[in-house]
């Protein structure tokens, strides 16, 4: 082979390597990036309150218990919580989050709660009531319901 042909081959190889690298780099840089959308506190609190009340309505006390504040859970273990809720003469029928707002580490959820009493005289009657719950934001960023019994 002639020296000139070898030089041309080296140049072609180098050009191909550079072009390949540029194409790979462009593919990486031009690929769509995952967008991280951070929810605001009110949206997170709304989700937590809706999950909590959905569990309460279904009677899934073991699933609603972790939404109670850490202070409440120190005082009342899960068995006591489940027994307390099972003995209530009320059946939660539905809820609607009317208003939610936060202020620093405190959050408030105003709910329209639908329920009925489990006593024979009123078992067929449905009731509604507007309530306001206080929630607290923990150091881990999670929202927990403050019990009115503590």
Domain boundaries, the chain: 41-145
d(CA 106, CA 18): 57
Give the tens place of pLDDT for each residue, 33-44: 555 555 799 999
The pTM (predicted TM-score) of the whole model is: 0.72
Q: Which residue has the higher pLDDT, 123 or 83?
A: 83
Query: Percent of the chain at pLDDT above 70?
Result: 73
Q: Which of 8-12, 39-43, 123-127 has the highest mean pLDDT?
A: 39-43
Closest CA relative to residue 99, chosen from 110, 88, 90, 115:
110
Angle at alpha carbon of residue 87, lines to 84 and 119, rounded to 5°: 150
Contact 69, 136 (CB under 8 A): yes
Give the tens place of pLDDT for each residue, 43-62: 999 999 999 999 999 999 99
Going by pLDDT thresholds of 50, 70 and 90, the confidence category of residue 119 is confident
- CATH assignment, 41-145: 3.10.450.50
């Amino acid at each position: 082979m002639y020296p000139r042909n070898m030089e041309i081959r080296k140049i072609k190889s180098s050009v191909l390597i550079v072009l390949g690298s540029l194409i790979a780099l462009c593919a990486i840089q031009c690929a769509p990036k995952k967008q991280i959308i951070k929810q605001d506190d009110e949206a997170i609190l709304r989700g937590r309150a809706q999950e909590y009340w959905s569990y309460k309505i279904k009677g899934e006390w073991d699933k609603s218990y972790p939404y109670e504040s850490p202070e409440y859970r120190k005082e009342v273990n899960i068995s006591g919580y489940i027994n307390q809720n099972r003995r209530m003469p009320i059946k939660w029928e539905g809820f609607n989050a009317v208003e939610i707002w936060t202020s620093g580490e405190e959050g408030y959820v105003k709910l329209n709660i639908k329920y009925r009493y489990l006593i024979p005289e009123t078992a067929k009657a449905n009731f509604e009531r507007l309530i306001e719950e206080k929630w607290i934001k923990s150091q881990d960023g999670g929202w927990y319901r403050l019990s009115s019994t503590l």
